[in-house]
Chains A and B, each alone.
Chain A
């Protein structure tokens, strides 16, 4: 029997053989492509020791195969540095890259006063012309930095290289250094040309390395507060960070810095004064947590504020880390308080969503985190995958030593980090850490997405447009989650599609209020009447209509 049932209602998901689905997904590809995709499409099976099958990830996108992926520049300028409001982010290149990464509100920001700097609604570009490509663009870059400084007087200016800048060899780092000396403000550059690496992940790495090198540790001012943490890998899409900040503040936890959502240059500069790093998106930032631990002695734990249960769990983890009764009590109190509304809506929505299927193909942690939210309203994730993840995001950090470094990864700088002679301060002794570990708090770990998914679910890395279509035809999920490029192709198939990169102007979905928002949003989408009107009365079977009439 064919695994793929075109045009018919899908049988129960259990009746479909995932191995057969996999074979059909790759059957149409030329041999070489099929072989490669075969390694990136995995039928999940979790072993007793929590082992999972190996998946191909962070490898090159196949030319001509329509992909979800973007480039290094998008990851660096758009994702990581984009949400920091008081930086003048100057794109050095032709106009397009700057224009497209001018997304103004995908990441929200809330300046404390009307006077405070907020450059996020602006797009700055050197708009290179062909003569600049021929004769070099450094002169124009220098002039643009001066002009930006004269008009805006920002605290810092960051420069982003686009593809042609790398090719013509403009030395943006030297220009940055020169301008830093000349203007007396921090000016730093990112070699994030679009062709570097195999996805936007390379750009995240370049961005984080740059912030770590040029900004973190510059300001030793410490924020008041008993429990001071950083939030890493939370980009404040749809106001997620606002909700997390609200909950943390209620618990009495001080947020020193968010990397990077609702963030500022000063937050980055003094982030080394925090006592704990919590990592939301493992993919985009785990190495910053590692580097901050090595250089400043700040331990890190993986957290997840997507899903009410996950948010509660993460708050408890933070409380446990600080080993303070007052904080634990406060956290429990807040969770109990917040859960009242959450449970009410959860129960109501669950009655309408229970048992429905979801598919998630987003980002590099989101496809994992959002499964928790779906589970809370009784929905099952039948298939998921990441757009730009590496193996450890799927299989857990235990596979880190097995990951082969290839040429594309080598083009991304690895920083050598040593303890800072003045600022290194271990927050916990080795004994304390060991004790906490015995107590169930795991440090420096992310167990990955696959171990959390059911056996037989299909895990697909860097899913293609063709595979997306076939998966929808096979399983007819109640909802599909991806990005804007996939949205309308999915919806044309009669399946609601939720964007989890920009939230379709919705959100927040993090924390407790976010969970409530999400339950209601998914309820609206999977139970909308509109999908039942796809056929006009005269397009449905007239005989069937007659039967109804007789009855």
Chain B
């Protein structure tokens, strides 16, 4: 038993977090920044933060993750990080030649109160920022929110810094895909293209964090949203923000700054959330839904109707990020599965009420918490076992100890591949999710079946 010290009896904890279901803002900001073409993320603090974030993103994506740091030592912590950042900006533009440096703060630089825009202005005045190059920033203290908040803040910075209100509205819409995999961002772009919708997708980490092996390392690969596209986002007809936590701040910023109308949707994971996404695209872009999309939808539905008996009434435990969990839970409920223990580490009241609403019809007591941890989740499972758990890699300890199948979903997934290449959004993503869920359940069924009941045909 790896988690042998986790007791069944649940005690209230006010101060101690055990096995967190979230991490800190800067890693989300770093991930988002990688979704701008020719951008080098920069961590303003001591170098350990940057090392940790790069390591975790690298382990998750199995791809190069480049980012620089201000490398604070004690001096900078006492006297402020201005000279470190100016020096860093100079070195980065000289050595790595990005078009954009996306600075995010850490708890260290936040606590001492470094003013990034002021430091950038100084760097600009001193000629450290070459013409046509940019330094953007987001405040991401680690003691607020979670990695999802950090992602949201850096995405918002893209709108704040680049979006411009042009003279006339362009025939295009903005899609903010949320804290999802590069494969998901690619799929969202594909769906828009399939529908004939011109879309600015930002951030866009596809082809940055799921790039091919070519024998060449490129510091700035082909992917990422261009500055040009980000500028034009201010003139788009509409913004479709996917996921309240990760995408709403940027969408609202675009509305305030450039008067771009915004539609807030759930992440298009599963049937109904994808329906809503397609429907909104159709309405705001004034296009009709092509047959190819109907075909994909029909196939997803087909799996559900064919395999319903294996889904029905199965109890599930979910750990993950709020936007993902909302859509995932809704999908599971829609196919008559019962998510009964749901934990996100990211704080936020709205999450709990949304999940309560979604699971209202589940004929079982449902535990849900925002700001919870995996220790509590494990205790819930000990008290009320489930048939399947879904969440990041850290759940494998619980899966092993409690002998429950696990479907990996969310962030980080350190011990499997595929998430960077195969989407879980859209109808095709839904099919992949169902395949994974069925594989896990049916493998377990086969494993546990007595010989006389071992099925060849389903």
Interface residues of A (CB under 8 A from B): 28-30, 33, 60-74, 90, 93-102, 104, 114, 117-119, 121-130, 132-133, 140-144, 146-148, 150-152, 162-164, 166-168, 193-200, 407-408, 411, 465-466, 469, 483-485, 487-494, 534-535
Q: Is the CB of B48 within 8 A of A70?
A: yes
Contact at B71–A104, with CB atoms within 8 Å?
no
In the bound assembly, the distance between CA atoms of A282 and B88 in angstroms comes to 32
The contact of A67 among B1, B47, B214, B217, by CB within 8 Å, is B47
Cross-chain pairs A/B with CB under 8 angstroms, 16 sampled: A28-B94, A64-B91, A95-B24, A97-B52, A123-B19, A130-B144, A147-B13, A151-B11, A164-B111, A195-B46, A408-B74, A484-B58, A489-B217, A490-B217, A491-B213, A492-B214
Interface status of B75 (Cβ within 8 A of chain A)? yes
- A168 contact from B7, B22, B54, B111, Cβ within 8 A: B111
Contacts of B161 in A (CB 8 A): none
Q: Using known A-B contacts A121-B2, A151-B11, determine if residue A94 contacts B142 with beta carbons closer than 8 Å.
A: yes
- Min Cβ gap B6→A in Å is 8
Select one of B25, B64, B94, B106 contacting A489, CB under 8 A: B64
Complex contact B45–A163 (CB within 8 A): yes
Residues of A within 8 A of B53 (CB): 100
Contact B73 A70 (CB under 8 A): no
Per-position binary interface string of chain B over residues 1-23, scored 1 when its CB falls under 8 Å from any chain A CB and 0 otherwise: 11111010001011111111011
Between A99, A132, A487, the greatest number of chain B beta carbons within 10 A of the residue's beta carbon is seen for A99
CB nearest neighbor in A for B97: A28
A65 and B74: CB pair below 8 A? no
Asked if A140 and B91 make an inter-chain contact with CB atoms under 8 angstroms apart, the answer reads no
Q: Establish whether residues A64 and B90, one from each chain, have CB atoms under 8 Å apart when the complex forms.
A: yes
Alpha-carbon distance between A152 and B64 when the two chains are bound, in angstroms = 39
Is B154 in the interface zone, CB < 8 Å from A?
Answer: no
Whole-angstrom distance between the Cβ of B136 and the nearest chain A Cβ: 16
Are A133 and B68 within 8 A (Cβ)?
no
* CB contact under 8 A between A124 and B51, given known A114-B4, A164-B107: no
In the complex, chain A residues whose CB is within 8 Å of the CB of B111: 133, 163-164, 167-168
Whether A493 pairs with B216 at a CB distance below 8 angstroms is: yes
Interface contact A95-B96, CB-CB below 8 Å: no
Closest chain B residue, CB of each to CB of A152: B5
Q: Does B402 contact A (CB under 8 A)?
A: no
CB distance from B216 to the nearest CB of A (A): 7
Q: Contact at A534–B91, with CB atoms within 8 Å? A: no
What B residues does A63 contact at CB under 8 A?
68-71, 84-85, 87-88, 91
The complex places the Cα of A195 from the Cα of B350 at a distance, in Å, of 37
Interchain CB contact under 8 A, B96 and A66: yes
Q: Which of chain B's residues have a CB closer than 8 A to the CB of A132?
A: 143
Q: B residues within 8 A CB of A494?
A: 215-216
Which of B89, B141, B142, B394 touches A64 (beta carbons < 8 Å)? B89
Distance to closest chain A CB from B236 (angstroms): 34
What residue of chain B has the Cβ atom nearest to residue A111's Cβ? B4
**Quick one: which of A65, A74, A100 contacts B91, CB cutoff 8 A?**
A65
Residues of B within 8 A of A68 (CB): 51
Contact with B66, one of A195, A407, A465 (Cβ below 8 angstroms): A465
* In the bound complex, CA of A492 to CA of B65 (Å): 12
B63 at the binding interface (Cβ < 8 Å): yes
Closest to B88 in A: A64
Closest Cβ–Cβ distance, residue B34 to chain A (whole Å): 13
B90 touches A124 (CB 8 A): no
On chain A, the residues within 8 Å of B62 by CB distance are: 488
Contact A65 B107 (CB under 8 A): no
Q: Is the CB of B73 within 8 A of A197?
A: yes
B242 touches A (CB below 8 Å): no
Q: Is B42 part of the binding interface, using a Cβ–Cβ cutoff of 8 Å?
A: yes
The residues of B that contact A62 with a CB separation of less than 8 Å are: 71, 87, 91
Inter-chain contacts of B88 with A (CB < 8 A): 63-64
Residue A66 contacts which of B15, B68, B214 (CB distance < 8 angstroms)? B68
Report which residue of A65, A163, A168, A535 has the largest number of chain B beta carbons within 10 angstroms of its beta carbon: A163
Report yes or no: B76 in contact with A99, Cβ–Cβ below 8 A: no
A119 to chain B, nearest CB (A): 7
CA of A293 to CA of B351 in the docked complex: distance in angstroms? Answer: 58
Q: Which residues of A contact B87 (CB under 8 A)?
A: 62-64
- Do B51 and A198 touch (CB < 8 A)? no
Question: Do residues A143 and B107 form an inter-chain contact, with CB atoms below 8 A?
Answer: no
**Bound CA–CA A101/B53 (angstroms):** 11
A64 and B42 within 8 A (CB):
yes
Indicate whether B178 reaches chain A with its CB closer than 8 angstroms. no
Number of interface residues, chain B, beta carbon within 8 A: 84
Give the CA-CA distance A102 to B112 in the complex, in Å.
Answer: 27
> Known interface pairs A195-B73, A197-B73, A488-B58. Does A466 touch B20 (Cβ–Cβ under 8 Å)?
no
Nearest residue, chain B, Cβ from A199: B47
B292 at interface by CB-CB < 8 Å? no
- The reply to whether the CB of B92 lies closer than 8 angstroms to some CB of chain A is yes
Task: For the complex formed, measure the closest distance between the CB of A315 and the CB atoms of chain B, giving whole angstroms.
Answer: 34
Q: How far is the CA of A201 from the CA of B96 in the complex (A)?
A: 27
Evaluate contact between A164 and B58: CB separation under 8 angstroms. Answer: no
Q: Would A493 and B11 count as touching, CB distance under 8 A?
A: no
| B64 lies within 8 A of A492 (CB) | yes
The CA of A551 and the CA of B345, in the complex, are separated in Å by 65
Question: Which chain B positions have C-beta within 8 A of A199?
Answer: 47
Distance between Cα atoms of A148 and B74 in the complex (Å): 31
Complex: chain B residue closest to A63, CB-CB: B88
CB distance from A140 to the nearest CB of B (A): 5
- A71 adjacent to B89 (CB under 8 Å): no
**CA gap between A284 and B217 in the complex, in Å:** 33
B146 within 8 A of A: yes
Q: Which of B3, B51, B89, B345 contacts A95 (CB 8 A)?
A: B345
Q: Which residue of A lies closest to B13 (CB)?
A: A147
**Closest 8 A/B residue pairs (Cβ):** A71-B48, A96-B24, A64-B88, A64-B91, A143-B15, A94-B142, A100-B52, A63-B88
Q: Given A96-B26, A121-B397, A195-B77, check contact A130 B141 (CB 8 Å).
A: yes
Are A93 and B107 in contact (CB-based, < 8 A)?
Answer: yes
A65–B46 contact, CB under 8 A? Answer: no
- Do B217 and A143 touch across chains, with their CB atoms under 8 A apart? no
Partner of B95, one of A28, A125, A408, A489: A28
**Cα–Cα, bound, A166→B3 (Å):** 32
A141 to B141, CA, bound (A): 20
**Chain B residue, CB-CB nearest to A28:** B95
Bound complex: CA of A408 vs CA of B47, how far in Å? 14
B300 contacts partner chain A, Cβ-Cβ < 8 Å: no
Contact B20 A163 (CB under 8 A): no
Q: Which residues of B contact A121 (CB under 8 A)?
A: 2-3, 397
Q: Is the beta-carbon distance between B68 and A162 smaller than 8 angstroms?
A: no
**CB atoms of A163 and B108 under 8 A apart:** yes
Q: Which residue of A lies closest to B211 (CB)?
A: A492
Least CB distance, A102 to chain B, in whole angstroms: 8
Given contacts A28-B95, A94-B107, A163-B107, 12 further A-B contacts (CB under 8 A): A33-B91, A63-B84, A95-B142, A96-B107, A97-B24, A98-B17, A102-B394, A104-B394, A126-B17, A166-B77, A483-B55, A492-B214
Give A140 to B14 CA distance when docked, in angstroms.
Answer: 8
Please tell me if the beta carbons of B76 and A195 are within 8 angstroms of each other in the complex: yes
Q: Which residue of A lies closest to B142 (CB)?
A: A94
B279 smallest CB distance to A (angstroms): 37
Output the least CB separation between A287 and chain B (Å).
20
In the assembled complex, the CB of A474 is this many whole angstroms from the nearest CB of chain B, namely: 14
Distance (whole angstroms) from the CB of B46 to the closest CB of chain A: 4
Q: Pick from A118, A125, A166: contact of B4, CB below 8 A.
A: A118
Contact between B22 and A488, CB atoms less than 8 A apart = no
Contact B5 A70 (CB under 8 A): no
Q: In the complex, A62→B86 CA distance in Å?
A: 12
B71 touches A163 (CB 8 A): no
Residue of A at shortest CB range from B141?
A130
Q: Which residues of A contact B254 (CB under 8 A)?
A: none
Q: Which residue of B lies closest to A126 (CB)?
A: B15
Max chain B C-beta neighbours (<10 A), residue from A33, A71, A166, A490: A71
